[in-house]
Copies of this chain bind each other. A is one copy, B any other.
Amino acid sequence: MNTSTNQPLRIVIVGGVAGGATAAARARRANAKAEIILLEKGPVVSFANCGLPYHIGGDIAQRESLLVTTPELFHKRFRIEVRTQTEALHIDRDKQAVEVIHHPTGEKSSLHYDRLILATGSEPLRPPFYPQQSTNVFQLWTLADMDRILAYLRNNPVQNVAVIGAGFVGLETVEQFHRLGLKVTLLERAPQVLSPLDSEMAALIHNELVHHNVDVIVNADVRELRMNQQQATAIVLADGSEISTDLVLVGAGVRPRVELAKDAGLQLGATGGVTVNQFMQTNDPLIYAVGDMAEYHHGVTDKPSRVPLAGPANRSGRVAGAHAASGKSTEMGSVLGTSVVRVFQLTAACTGLSQRVCGLNKIPHRTVIIQAAHHASYFPGAKNLTLKLIYSPTDGQILGASCVGAEGADKRIDVIATAMHFGGTVDDLAQVDLAYAPPYGSAKDPVHMAAFAASNDLQQWPSLNEPNSDLSGFQVVDVRTAKEQQTLPLPGAIAISVDELSTRWTELDPTRPTICVCHSGKRAHVAACLLKGQGFTDVRNLSGGMSIRRLMVNDK
Contacts and interface: CB of A to CB of B under 8 A. Distances in A.
A218 interface: no
Interface residues of A, number: 97
Nearest to A435: B340
A418 interface: yes
A227 interface: no
A51 B455 CA distance: 29
A502 B79 contact: yes
- For this chain, the copies found in one complex come to 2
Nearest to A429: B418
Contacts of A534: 32-33
Interface string A56-100: 000111000110100001001111000000000000000000000
B378 A66 contact: yes
Nearest to A451: B330
A490 B379 CA distance: 45
Contact of A378 (B28, B60, B334, B347): B60
Contacts of A525: 29
Given A410-B440, A417-B433, A418-B415, A532 B311 contact: no
Interface stretch (A130-138, A312-320, A360-368): A312-320
A550 B360 CA distance: 57
Interface string A166-202: 0010001000000000000000000000000000000
A153 interface: no
A480 interface: no
Interface in A280-332: 299, 309-315, 318, 330-332
B60 A379 contact: yes
A433 B335 contact: yes
Contacts of A340: 435-437, 440-441
Given A414-B434, A433-B338, A435-B339, A48 B419 contact: no
Nearest to A340: B435
Nearest to A534: B32
B378 A312 contact: no
A428 interface: yes
Nearest to A52: B438
B529 A29 contact: yes
A443 B313 contact: yes
A191 B434 CA distance: 28
A237 interface: no
A541 B443 CA distance: 40
Interface in A420-445: 421-422, 424, 427-428, 430-441, 443-445
Nearest to A349: B435
Interface string A1-37: 0000000000000000000000000001111110000
Given A60-B378, A526-B78, A432 B427 contact: no
A437 B415 CA distance: 16
Contact of A435 (B172, B332, B413): B413
Listed residue (A60, A349, A438, A526) with the most chain B CB atoms within 10 angstroms of its CB: A438
A102 interface: no
Contacts of A337: 433
Contacts of A418: 415, 418-419, 432, 434
Contacts of A299: 433
B529 A435 contact: no
Contacts of A436: 50, 309-311, 338-340
Contacts of A315: 430-431, 444, 448
A474 interface: no
A177 to B, nearest CB: 17
A341 interface: yes
B455 A342 contact: no
Contact of A437 (B342, B430, B452): B342
Given A419-B418, A436-B310, A334 B431 contact: yes
A73 B499 CA distance: 8
25 contacts: A29-B461, A29-B529, A30-B461, A48-B438, A50-B437, A60-B379, A76-B499, A76-B502, A77-B498, A77-B499, A79-B502, A299-B433, A314-B444, A315-B448, A318-B452, A330-B455, A336-B433, A338-B433, A340-B437, A340-B440, A349-B440, A351-B435, A410-B440, A421-B432, A422-B428
Interface of A: 28-33, 48, 50-51, 54, 59-61, 65-66, 68, 73, 76-79, 168, 172, 299, 309-315, 318, 330-342, 347, 349, 351, 376, 378-380, 410-411, 413-415, 417-419, 421-422, 424, 427-428, 430-441, 443-445, 448, 452, 455, 461, 498-500, 502, 523, 525-526, 529-534
Given A312-B433, A333-B430, 16 more contacts: A29-B526, A32-B529, A54-B438, A65-B378, A76-B499, A79-B502, A311-B433, A311-B436, A311-B443, A315-B430, A330-B455, A333-B432, A340-B435, A421-B433, A422-B424, A422-B428
- The 9 A-B pairs at the shortest CB distance, nearest first, are namely A32-B533, A333-B431, A340-B435, A310-B443, A422-B422, A76-B499, A29-B529, A65-B378, A418-B418
